[in-house]
Structure 1
Amino acid sequence: MACAGSAVLEGDAAAFAAAVRSLINNPQFSDVTFVVGRERQEVFAHRCILACRCQAFQGMLSQPQAGAQEPWPPQTPLVLSHVQPEVFLAVLEFLYTNSVTLNSLIALEVLTSAVEYGLDDLRKAAVTYGQTDLQEHCLVFVEDRTQEVVQTRSFHELSAAALVAVLRSDRLAIDEPHLIRAVWEWAHVSSAVLERPVAEVAAGPVRELRLPLLSPQELAALETNNQRDPLIPVESIAEAWKCHVLRKGSGAPPRLCQRRRGTQPREHHSYLE
C-alpha cells in the first residue's frame, strides 16, 4: 500500500518497450522452447510472460508431461506443428509488447491463433487489419461450398447485411430455388432471435433473390407458398412474371436476371440475357 504523499514516477517508456521486445525469441534466459511448424523451427520464450499474459499458455505450461508429476520441464520443447513460425512469432510479439506487426500474408492465420489462444485484443487487431481479406476468403469459401454452407447453423446466424453481400455473388454454387428456401429458413431463425416479423428482418436479402431465373411452374409454387407465409414482396414476384410475359429481361433489375454459377438451365433463360 502506498504511503501518504507518495507518487508514481514513470521511466522512459520507449526504452522499456525496446528492452522487453528484445526478449522475443531470445534464447538468453529463456526457459521454454517451442518447435514450430513443418519447418520445426525453434522459438524461445519465457514462462512467466506467457503464463501471465495468456491463460491457454498458463494451462499448457502447468500440465505435466506424459508420465511425469511435475509441470512441463524447461528442457523439453513444446511442439506446435499446426502453426507457421512467423504467425507464432506475431503471437509472441503481442504477448510481450501488447502490439503486433501484421501483413496480408499472415493476418488470417494470426486471427485463427488469437481465437485458439483466447487473445481477444489480438483477435480484434487481426480482424481490423485483415477485414477485407477475411471477407474475400469467407465469400470464396461460401461460393465454393454453397449447398453445404446454407445448411449450417453459421449461415442461419448471418446478419442481414452479410447475407446481402453473399446473395449479390454470381458465383454461388446453388440453384435459385434451393437458395430461396435457404433464405426462407434464415429469415424465420432471425425473426425468432430478433423478435421481429419475418418479412421485416428479410427485407434486404429478399431483394437479392433472382426470381426471374425461376420457371413459370416454380414461380407459381413460390407465389402460392408466399401467400401462406409472406416473405417476398408481391412487387418482386410481379416483376418476375413480367419477364415471362414479355419474354425478355426488362421488368426486373439486370442483376436479378444474371445466372449464378450453380443455376440450372431453364428454357426461358435464353431471353433473359
Structure 2
Amino acid sequence: MARSCSARLHGEAAAFTAALRSLVNNPQFSDVTFVVGREQQPVFAHRCVLACRCQAFRGMLMSHEDPPNSVPPQGPFVMANVQPEVFLAVIEFLYTNSVTLNSHIVLEVLTSSVEYGLQDLCKLCVEFIKDTLNVEQVCEALQAAVTYGQADLQQHCLAFIESYTMAVVRTQGFHELSDTVLARVLRSDHLAADELDLVQAVREWAHVSSAVLERPVPEVAALPVQELRLPLLAPNELAMLESQNQQDLLIPVSCGVPRSFLGTSWGRIGVPTLMSPSGQVDSIAAAWRSHALRRGSGVPSHLCRPRHGTRPRNHHRHLDPHNK
C-alpha cells in the first residue's frame, strides 16, 4: 500500500495580492462602512478581513450585547481623527500585507499602526522614514520615535541631526520639539554647531513654546537650558549672553550676586556653587567661575566638553580634564 504524503504548495503571490488589493475600498460585497476624516469620506471594507488581521478592528466590529446569530451592525463607523489617505494605507496593509507610503502621511500611518497594534506596519513605516529622512522632517520623526519607543529610529534621527545641526535648528519641526526631546538632543557631543548658535536656537525655541503653551520662557526652557555648555563661551560672549538674558530670563540666575563678585577673586575665596531661586545651578555664574579659576571646577564635566561643531577658544585648554 502506497504511503500517503502531503505538502503545502504556493501559487503566484503577486496575483493573489493583486486580487486582494482590488477589494480595498470596494463597495462590492462590503459589509462594513467607515466615515473618515473631516471630509467624511466613506471607506468600504470587509468585516472578516479586518477582524482576522487586526485585534483592534475585531473588538470594534464585534457587538458582545447582540445574540450570537444576529448580523453585526454595518456602521457607518465614524473615524473623524484620521485622514482618509492614512486610513486607506492601513486598510491596504490589512488586505495585502503591503503599504503605499509617502513622506506626507508616513508619520500618521506610524501613529495608526501603534494605535491598532500592527507591529509589521510599524516596522515598514520606520524603514521608510529612515530611507527618506530629510532636514524638514527629522525633528517630527524624532518626536514620534520617542513617543512610540522606537529606539532604532531615535538613534537614526539623532545621527542625522548631529550631521546637519544648523539646518535642522532653523526648521519649524525643531521649534515644535518637546522640552524633554530637545534636552536629549542637546546632550549630544556630536552636534555640528557652536555653543553660541545652540544658545540662540534654544532661545528661539523657548519663545515659540512659551507662546504656544502660554507659559513663561524660563518655565518651558528649564530642561533644555540645563544642557547648554556655557563654560565653552568666551568672556565677551558670556557678557553678551547676560545682557540678552535680562530680557527673557531664559537662563536661571541667582539673586543678589554682584557681577564684580564673578571675577578673578572668586578663585581665592572659594564661593560654593550658586543656585537660582528655582533650585537650578546658575549656569552663567558657573561659567564665569570656570574662567576665574581657569578650569571647570564645580561645573559638571560634560558641560565643559566641546562638541563636534564647537569653535575653538583660548580658554578651552583649561577646561580639558587631562590638561595639567
TM-score with structure 1 setting the length: 0.62
Which amino acid in structure 2 is aligned with residue 142 of structure 1?
I
Aligned to 1:163: 182
> Any conservation in 2 of the 1:176–1:263 contact (CA below 8 Å)?
yes
Cα 1:49–1:136 shift into 2, 3 Å: same
Q: Distance in 1 between matches of 2:145 and 2:229?
A: 35
Structure 1 unaligned regions, length at least 5:
1-21, 33-43, 60-89, 114-124
User: What's the counterpart of residue 257 of structure 2?
Assistant: none
Among 9, 15, 39, the residue aligned to 1:27: 15
Q: State the match for 1:11 in structure 2.
A: none
* 1:23 Cα deviation from its structure 2 partner: 11
| Alignment check: 8 A CA contact 2:251 2:284 kept | yes
**Partner Cα distance (1:127, 1:255) in 2:** 23
| 1:149 Cα offset (Å) | 0.5
Q: What corresponds to 2:250 in structure 1?
A: 231
Q: Paired residue for 2:200?
A: 181
- How many Å apart are 1:193 and its aligned residue? 0.1
Residue in 1 that maps onto 2:22: 47
For 1:100-111, what aligned pairs fall within 5 Å after superposition? 100=118, 102=120, 106=124, 108-109=126-127
TM-score relative to the length of structure 2: 0.53
| 1:212 correspondence with 2:231 | yes
**Mapping of 1:251-270 within 5 angstroms?**
251-270=298-317
Give CA-to-partner distance per residue, 1:239-264, whole Å, 9 cap, x none.
00000000011121111001000000
How big is each residue's C-alpha offset from its partner over 1:150-172, in whole Å with a ceiling of 9 and x where there is no partner?
A: 01110000000110000000000
Contact 1:173 1:260 in 2 (8 A): yes
Could you list the runs of 4 or more consecutive aligned residues of structure 1 that deviate by over 6 angstroms after TM superposition?
A: 52-55, 125-130
Q: Alpha-carbon deviation of 1:110? A: 5.3
Alignment of 1:7-22 (within 5 A): none
Check the 8 A contact 2:93/2:121 in 1, yes or no: no
Between stretches 127-136 and 175-184, larger displacement belongs to 127-136
Match of 2:294 among 240, 244, 247: 247
Q: Structure 1 CA distance, aligned partners of 2:299 and 2:157?
A: 29
SS of match in other structure, 2:207: helix
- Is 1:131 matched with 2:154? no
For residue 47 of structure 1, what is the amino acid of its counterpart? Answer: S
Distance 1:180 1:129 in 2: 28
| Change in 2 beyond 3 A, CA 1:128/1:214 | closer
How many residue pairs get matched?
A: 197
Q: Per-residue CA shift, 1:140-195, capped at 9, x if unaligned?
A: 11111000000111000000011000000000000000110000000000000000
Q: How does 1:39-118 map to 2 (within 5 A)?
A: 45-49=20-24, 51=26, 92-95=92-95, 100=118, 102=120, 106=124, 108-109=126-127
Contact 2:217 2:248 in 1 (8 A): no
Q: Give the C-alpha shift of residue 24 in structure 1.
A: 10
What is the deviation of 1:94?
3.0
Secondary structure, counterpart of 1:171 in structure 2 = coil
Question: Structure 2: which amino acid aligns with 1:258?
Answer: R
Q: CA offsets per residue over residues 95-128 of structure 1, 9 Å max, x none?
A: 4588756399745135689xxxxxxxxxxx9988
Structure 1 residue 133, shift from structure 2 partner: 1.1
| Distance change >3 Å, CA 208–CA 129, structure 1 → 2 | closer
Rounded to whole Å, the distance in 2 between the matches of 1:47 and 1:242 is 71
Whether the 8 Å contact between 2:195 and 2:232 is mirrored in structure 1 is: yes
Q: CA deviation at 1:130?
A: 6.7
Q: Cα gap change, 1:217/1:138 in structure 2, threshold over 3 Å: closer, same or farther? A: same
Partner of 2:108: none
Letter in 2 for 1:191: S
For 1:233 and 1:126, locate their aligned partners in 2 and report how far apart those are by CA, in whole Å: 30
Partner of 1:27, secondary structure, is helix
In the superposition, relative to structure 1, how do residues 104 and 229 fare at CA in structure 2: closer, same or farther (>3 Å)?
closer
Aligned equivalents of 1:128, 1:213: Cα separation in 2 = 32
- Between the aligned partners of 2:13 and 2:130, the Cα distance in structure 1 is 21
Q: 2:165 maps to what in 1?
A: 146
